[in-house]
Amino acid sequence: MSESPLIAAYIGLGSNLESPRQQVSRALDELGDLPKTHCTARSSLYRTPPMGPPDQPDYINAVAAVATSLSAEMLLEELQRLERLHRRVESGERWGPRTLDLDLLLFGDQQIKTTHLIVPHTGLGARAFVLYPLAEIAPPGLDIPRLGPLSGLLERISGDGIEKVA
């Protein structure tokens, strides 16, 4: 039986609890250990203000590119497993603090809408904390389904408050 073709996918990573830099760095390493998946690129780390409640620490964010033969749903399951390994707890507060948040941003050029998964990720086009690291590793001319060229999205958002960290 032949293996499924490799799909290029992009994953957003974020943390603002329990040593966020280490949480994101470790998760970047762990993405390469997922079944039928290898990491092909990783962005720098970025410090960003929280999108949700203001009484929480700044986030550390990054984006990784992977090549995978998993389905989008199976990749999402693996990302959720990694979140659990990092002791992610759902507080019930939207955009609240977390040890690790992994979002499947793009899955090839596919558009997916199920009860558990929306690709491209909801809000992708308006979130500088995702677009800046994505632009760092994306191929020139990346076109995001339903949203258009990445370069055009970057022109419409502000990078205020985003800081690349060493």
Catalytic residue IDs: 88, 98, 101, 103
42 Cβ neighbours under 8 A, 6+ residues apart: 28, 62, 63, 64, 65, 137
Distance, CA of 20 to CA of 11 (rounded, Å): 17
Please say whether the dihedral angle defined by the alpha carbons of residues 35, 41, 46 and 51, taken in this order, is positive or negative. Answer: negative
Helix (H, G, I), strand (E, B) or coil at 33: coil
